[in-house]
Amino acid sequence: MVTKNTDLAYRSKQLHEKLIHWRRNFHKYPELSFQEKRTSEEIEKALRSMGGYEIEKGVGGYGIIATLHAGGGPVLGLRADMDALPIHEQPDVPYHSRCDGVMHACGHDAHVSILLGTAHLLAEDAARGALNGTVQLIFQPAEENCDETGETGAVKMMKTGKLNNLDAVLALHMCPWRKRGEIQVHDGPSMANNDDFHLTIEGKGGHAGYPQHVTDPVWIATYLLQALYSLNGRKIDPLQVGTLSVGQINGGDANNIIPNSVEIKGTMRSYTPEVREKMIAEISQAAQIVTSLGGNYKLNIHRGEPALYNHPDMNKVIRNSASPMAVYDEPFGMGSEDFSHFTEKIPGAMFFLGCGLERERSLHQSDFDIDEEAMQDGVRILTQCVYEWQRLKGGRG
């Protein structure tokens, strides 16, 4: 029999103090991408105290896979990311970051705590024979940043082959623009492809008083910037989702010297493979304006995370499990999320969990915080998703 939402709501509420303890512990001691040693140790300690889990450490860095075997059949994965951001927190709460210049400004401390709470309930259910099936809990490092190879934690973990047995995968993300009792879901592309570009304009510098004797890369850059920004409205269908932004322009060391080169760095965001390829092709075309004005250029494009694709069948599992909460169907925006590497290969979905405070705290801001009561909602939904998914697969829940 499928575990009822009301029963799980009560059991999740009983975990309130544990959830807050876990979250504030992680919040006080945040760790950057690929540096999550303490976080991983704390996760392992909590999992071992529950019993029943087969634990693999050091997966793709400091990643952990905890497997609960409660019978055969399909395998469902539940994923939480664990890394923090290089942001100095405004210390206006007693559990503020003790690590200067590092904070959990994207809710990953809550993601891990919610998955630990889910692990607690599932272990209890398995011990009393109420769970039938295999569940893998995936505690993933390095969602926020890649390493020198250009890979994030999701790619690292998947490359180990230890997740090849997954039949489906789910995740959640804290959502400060929605209140507790609300979630946000969306079928299909829901977060953006993320591609960065680095364009170097090479000219010939010299005395600023004699511009006729130089090839001015600053002057060339003004034309190139116009060409780049025209992609948004003139080369990309305005009915399609695609945008380009320049975040850095670097060149020169003195006001009276024309530099030899100028660097332009930026990002491209899109929702479909077609628009992604179109933007990459068009930026290459736009760069040719440099040669027409007498300069040379080097263009490097780093393909980042693909668009997050939420599979409709997995969103159905989430919607059914979230009842009676309010469900909003909207894309999540133009940010990127490396969980997309999972759903690119495995049927899966992510939902955003309302956690907004009276004064909204935005993601990646130095004053970010959450309504901690929302964590018990996340535990209830994720646990119910396990039973709902097993029900749809024809298993016993």
Q: Which of 302, 312, 212, 326 is nearest to 258 (CA)?
A: 212
355 is in an annotated binding site: no
**Dist. CA 365–CA 320, nearest whole Å:** 33
The alpha helices in the chain, defined as continuous H runs, are: 5-14, 16-28, 37-50, 108-127, 153-159, 217-229, 273-287, 289-292, 312-322, 340-343, 374-392
Please say whether the beta carbons of 83 and 33 come within 8 A: yes
Closest CA to 36 of 135, 142, 163, 107: 142
Has 144 been labeled as part of a binding site?
Answer: yes
User: Hey, is 127 helix, strand or coil?
Assistant: helix
Mention every residue, 6+ apart, whose C-beta is less than 8 A from residue 189: 241, 271, 272, 307, 308, 309, 331
Contacts of 231 by beta carbon, 8 Å cutoff, 6+ apart: 242, 244, 279, 282, 283, 286
CB 393 within 8 Å of CB 18:
no
Sheet of strand 261-270: strand arrangement: 242-250, 261-270, 193-202, 296-303
How many whole angstroms separate alpha carbon 307 and alpha carbon 343? Answer: 9
Which sign does the torsion angle of CA 108, 112, 117, 119 carry? Answer: positive
Q: Confirm or deny that 106 is annotated as ligand binding.
A: yes
- Please answer whether residues 390 and 133 qualify as being in contact, where contact means their C-beta atoms are separated by less than 8 angstroms: yes
Task: Report CA 194 to chain centroid distance, whole Å.
Answer: 11
Give the residue numbers of the binding site: 106, 108, 144, 173, 364
Binding residues for Mn(2+): 106, 108, 144, 173, 364
